Amino acid sequence: MDKKTEKKVIIELDNVCKYYKMGNNIVKAVDGVSLKIKEGDFVAIMGPSGSGKSTMMNLIGSLDVPTRGKILLDGDDISELSESDLAQIRGKKIGFIFQSFNLIKNLTAKGNVMIPMIFQGYDAGGRSFRAEKLMKMVDLSERMDHSPNELSGGQQQRVAIARSLANSPEVVLADEPTGNLDSKTGQTVMGFLQDLNNKGKTIVMVTHDIELVKDYPDIVYWLKDGKIEKVTEKTVKRRTNIE
Sheet holding 68-73, edge to edge: 25-38, 9-22, 68-73, 76-77
241 Cβ neighbours under 8 A, 6+ residues apart: 195
pLDDT tens-digit map of 177-236 = 998 899 899 999 999 999 999 999 999 999 988 888 888 999 999 999 999 999 999 866
* Residue type at 40 in one-letter notation: G
Q: DSSP letters of 9-26?
A: EEEEEEEEEEEEEETTEE
- At 239 the pLDDT is 55
* Pairing assessment for the beta strands 94-97 and 171-175 based on DSSP bridges: parallel
Q: Is 28 helix (H, G, I), strand (E, B) or coil?
A: strand
Q: Is the pLDDT of residue 5 over 80?
A: no
Q: Is the pLDDT of residue 51 over 90?
A: yes
d(CA 170, CA 150): 31
- At 44 the pLDDT is 96
In the chain, count of helices (H) and strands (E)?
Answer: 8, 10
- At 243 the pLDDT is 39
Is there a contact between 71 and 30 (Cβ–Cβ < 8 Å)?
no
76 Cβ neighbours under 8 A, 6+ residues apart: 89
* Pairing assessment for the beta strands 76-77 and 68-73 based on DSSP bridges: antiparallel
Q: Considering only 2-6, 66-70, 139-143, 234-238, which range has the smallest mean pLDDT?
A: 2-6
Extents of the domains making up the chain: 40-64+82-233
- At 236 the pLDDT is 61
d(CA 54, CA 46): 10
Is there a contact between 221 and 59 (Cβ–Cβ < 8 Å)?
no
Nearest one of 179, 105, 106, 95 to 138, comparing CA atoms? 95
Q: Is the pLDDT of residue 1 over 50?
A: no
- Which CATH architecture is the domain 40-64+82-233 placed in? 3-Layer(aba) Sandwich (3.40)
- At 138 the pLDDT is 94
* SS3 of 165-230: CCCCCCEEEEECCCCCCCHHHHHHHHHHHHHHHHCCCEEEEEECCHHHHHHCCCEEEEEECCEEEE
Question: Average of pLDDT values for 63-86?
Answer: 88
Look over the chain and give the mean of its residue pLDDT values, rounded to a whole number.
90
d(CA 192, CA 215): 14
Nearest one of 196, 182, 185 to 237, comparing CA atoms? 196
pLDDT tens-digit map of 80-130 = 888 888 888 888 899 999 888 999 999 999 999 999 999 888 999 999 999
Q: Considering only 2-11, 22-31, 134-143, 150-159, which range has the smallest mean pLDDT?
A: 2-11
Q: Is the pLDDT of residue 2 over 90?
A: no
